[in-house]
Amino acid sequence: MTALRDWAATVRILEPVRTAAPGEAAEQTVDAAALRAGAERQRIALDLHDDVAPLLFAMASRIRRALDENTDEPDAAQLLATLRTLADEVQHTQDSLRAVIRDCAPADPAEAVPAAAQRDVDAFTERTGVVGHLLVQGRPRNLPAAVERVALNCLRQALVNVDQHADASLAVITLAYRTDRFCLVVQDDGLGLPAGFEPRAVPVEGHHWGFTSMAEQVERLGGSVLLRRIDEGGTQLRVELPVPR
């Protein structure tokens, strides 16, 4: 457990540090504050998109329906003028909101998967009280949509597993960008896997659904999943996904 804490403090990933291979991007540290800023921008954009935008759309729709229903009323001229003005204002607000959401979208690869992962890690820490550290190795780049989606799904399932089974106080999440692959490593300082535990491809007695789903998604993309107990205590999940050059 102490080793994991020391490792998190030195911002290293769960494998030996090595020199970049020919053609591979050199090591790059992604500032944690920048990740959190990107994560917050994503959270704001999602909240605006999910909560405010539908409300404005519904308001505009109701106003247009009222306009359509009152066009034949002889004493409705003032009402119609007011409704038209209100409809224009709501439409303008909706257009402005779309612009805000667009501006909040990731502008840099480091604001894509790393920022989304930071958002998930922060939510996990807030929900569980387990300290989460996100580390990024290599030069972030835009990943294929399928790889991005599966990687984040695996991260979320791994954090659920830590919450439900690990009894941990610390979880370290590493995103490693390699020349031909993307690696996700989630390690905790909890109880570790039970003796004799073997991850199963097919769920048994209501268990292992999370791992089964994760493995199927990863293997569908030609990747691999490794779940193992760590000698000093805790569990490590390692996901590797191929990324076309």
Range with lowest mean pLDDT among 10-24, 52-66, 78-92, 229-243? 10-24
Q: What residue spans define the domains of the chain?
A: 2-39+108-242, 42-104
Range with lowest mean pLDDT among 129-133, 170-174, 225-229? 225-229
Range with lowest mean pLDDT among 105-114, 143-152, 189-198, 219-228? 105-114
Mean pLDDT of 40-55: 74
Range with lowest mean pLDDT among 62-76, 143-157, 181-195, 212-226? 62-76
pLDDT band for 15, please (50, 70, 90 cuts): very low
The predicted structure's pLDDT at residue 2? 54
185 has which bridge partners? 174, 238
Q: Is the per-residue pLDDT at 130 higher than 80?
A: yes
pLDDT band for 25, please (50, 70, 90 cuts): very low
Task: Provide the CATH number for the domain formed by 2-39+108-242 in this structure.
Answer: 3.30.565.10
Helix, strand, coil % in the chain, rounded to nearest 5: 50, 15, 30
Helix or strand run (H / E) with residue 3: helix 2-9
Output the CA torsion sign for 93, 98, 103, 105. Answer: positive
pTM: 0.63
Distance CA 172, CA 235 (A): 11
